[in-house]
Amino acid sequence: MAEETRKLNILVLNCGSSSLKYQLINMEEKKVLAKGICERIGINDSQIKHTPIGKEAVIIKGDMPDHKNAVQYVIDALVSKEHGVIDSMDAINAVGHRIVHGGEEFASSTVITDEVIEAVKTCSDLAPLHNPANLIGIDACKQIMPNIPMVGVFDTAFHQTMPKKSYLYALPYAYYRKYKLRRYGFHGTSHKYVAYRAAEFLNRDIKDMKIVVCHLGNGASVCAVDGGKSVDTSMGLTPLEGLVMGTRSGDIDPAILQFLAEKENKTLEEVTSVLNKESGVLGISEISSDFRDLENAIAQGDKKAALTMNVFCYRVAKYVGAYAAAMNGIDAVVFTAGLGENNGAVRSEICSYLTFLGVNVDEEANKCRSIERDFSHEDARVRTLVIPTDEEMMIARETAKLL
């Protein structure tokens, strides 16, 4: 343990409204030392699930009325005699915070100062569910670890290179002027990591590459990366736009909101909640938001589960096609996140629409899970890859870079 205390350790925090995910990463060895999650913060029965890497996970029940208590539980777990991985809090050299929305203020990661906190607060209008929780986490660390530097890494930052033609909605321009209403995009940390890693994997300079990254998890988005820069992405002002997701509808005719509000006698807020929480894969299949349940249902001949998968894959393929036009070509389509990394059938079905671009899948090679792999046929003109995402490592890297 004493060995670790002399090294550069970054604590990566991802604060939700009632949860706090963390990883302690040693940057010299690029190694995760411990990870875990505090759940039900501010509710009852709160607990921390802490996993020192290479050992069994431990669950510690405790009182976590707010995020400050939760951060204290994290520190206690990290330095604990039984399942700790460092000697004291001093062995944490910096904290990297995931922040969801950086608006137009933040095009890159930044050291957190009082001015930055104020700027993040002003972006809270754009992400009312996420930014306030991220700020609570920052405040908790300020109180518990006042001398440890903090860095904010924004989900939106990577997409700030999008040209205006990609990010403007065709609404009265005054709304953009007044409210900064525009496409921002999310999953930026993942898209950036995966695109750069894909270029490295292929031994190519990312500056010469046109890559489409498909981040397919519970939340899902596609990103066009031209020469290492995001030029378009499927999520918009909020993470509701774009692909069909676990419980989110993705793109729909905006007139549906009023139609449903009238027919179902719901408020706008209630309809929006249906689009966020009851739609997508769950909505169509009426089975589950999790593709593993769908796969089981499909194996038993459930037609609607199969249809749901068709709708999901078709939408992804349409976006890849659109981004081929946006970049005037593609060199690689890269799959990542829960589904992208683990579900070969989904990858295969998406790719079946893209043969006209020069995509050609080696179905044997496509039988892989959670490993970096080029699963293209040797005759393919467009490479198809699986690159497991690692948002925490990326946040730790950005944090270390800014120290």
Binding of residue 242 to ligand ADP (CB under 6 A): no
Q: Is 33 annotated as a binding residue?
A: no
What is the helix (H) or strand (E) element at residue 5, kind and residue range?
Answer: helix 2-5
Which residue among the candidates 155, 226, 331, 390 is catalytic per the annotation?
A: 155
Q: In the bound complex, what is the minimum distance in angstroms from residue 219's beta carbon to ligand ADP?
A: 5
Q: Sort 197 into a burial class: Cβ within 10 Å, 0-12 / 13-18 / 19+.
A: buried
Count of chain residues binding ligand ADP (CB under 6 A): 11
User: Cβ atoms within 10 A of the Cβ of 271, count?
Assistant: 18
Catalytic site residue 155?
yes
Q: Is 217 annotated as a binding residue?
A: yes
Binding of residue 312 to ligand ADP (CB under 6 A): no
Q: Is 182 annotated as a binding residue?
A: no
Q: Is 186 annotated as a binding residue?
A: no
Instruction: Give how far Cα 260 sits from Cα of 211, 239, 257, 264, 401, Å.
Output: 38, 21, 5, 6, 48
Q: Is 98 annotated as a binding residue?
A: yes
Residues in Cβ contact with 227 at an 8 Å cutoff, skipping those fewer than 6 apart: 206, 207, 208, 209, 210
DSSP symbols for 197-224: HHHHHTT--GGG-EEEEEEESSSEEEEE
Q: In the bound complex, what is the minimum distance in angstroms from residue 289's beta carbon to ligand ADP?
A: 7
Q: In the bound complex, what is the minimum distance in angstroms from residue 351's beta carbon to ligand ADP?
A: 18
Q: Is 4 annotated as a binding residue?
A: no
Among 138, 150, 212, 339, which residue sits at the site for ligand ADP (rule: CB under 6 A)? Answer: 339
DSSP class of residue 243 equals S
Within positions 353 to 392, which residues make up the interface with ligand ADP, using CB under 6 A? Answer: none
Q: Which residue is nearest to ligand ADP (CB)?
A: 338
Q: Sort 173 into a burial class: Cβ within 10 Å, 0-12 / 13-18 / 19+.
A: exposed
Cβ atoms of 68 and 58 within 8 Å: the answer is no
Q: Stretches 87-95, 136-144, 212-220, 391-399: which one binds ligand ADP (CB under 6 A)?
A: 212-220
Q: Stretches 13-21, 93-101, 138-146, 331-339: which one binds ligand ADP (CB under 6 A)?
A: 331-339
Among 343, 366, 376, 399, which residue sits at the site for ligand ADP (rule: CB under 6 A)? Answer: 343
**Residue 102 and residue 119: Cα distance in Å, rounded?**
8
Nearest Cα to Cα of residue 34 among 67, 82, 97:
82
Binding of residue 247 to ligand ADP (CB under 6 A): no
**Residue 104 and residue 97: Cα distance in Å, rounded?**
18
Nearest Cα to Cα of residue 230 among 180, 193, 181, 279:
193
Nearer to ligand ADP, 317 or 326 (CB): 317
Q: In the bound complex, what is the minimum distance in angstroms from residue 217's beta carbon to ligand ADP?
A: 3
Binding of residue 297 to ligand ADP (CB under 6 A): no
Binding of residue 337 to ligand ADP (CB under 6 A): yes
Q: Is 335 annotated as a binding residue?
A: no
**Residue 131 and residue 5: Cα distance in Å, rounded?**
32
Nearest Cα to Cα of residue 391 among 210, 219, 235:
219
Q: In the bound complex, what is the minimum distance in angstroms from residue 310's beta carbon to ligand ADP?
A: 16
Among 219, 236, 242, 280, which residue sits at the site for ligand ADP (rule: CB under 6 A)? Answer: 219
Q: In the bound complex, what is the minimum distance in angstroms from residue 198's beta carbon to ligand ADP?
A: 18
Q: Is 392 annotated as a binding residue?
A: no
Binding of residue 16 to ligand ADP (CB under 6 A): no
Main-chain dihedrals φ then ψ at residue 22, nearest 5 degrees: -145, 155
Instruction: Give how far Cα 169 sits from Cα of 183, 232, 318, Å.
Output: 7, 13, 19
Which amino acids are annotated as binding site for Mg(2+), given as ranges?
14, 391
In the complex, the residues that contact ligand ADP under the rule CB under 6 A are 217-219, 290-292, 337-339, 342-343
The set of catalytic residues is: 155
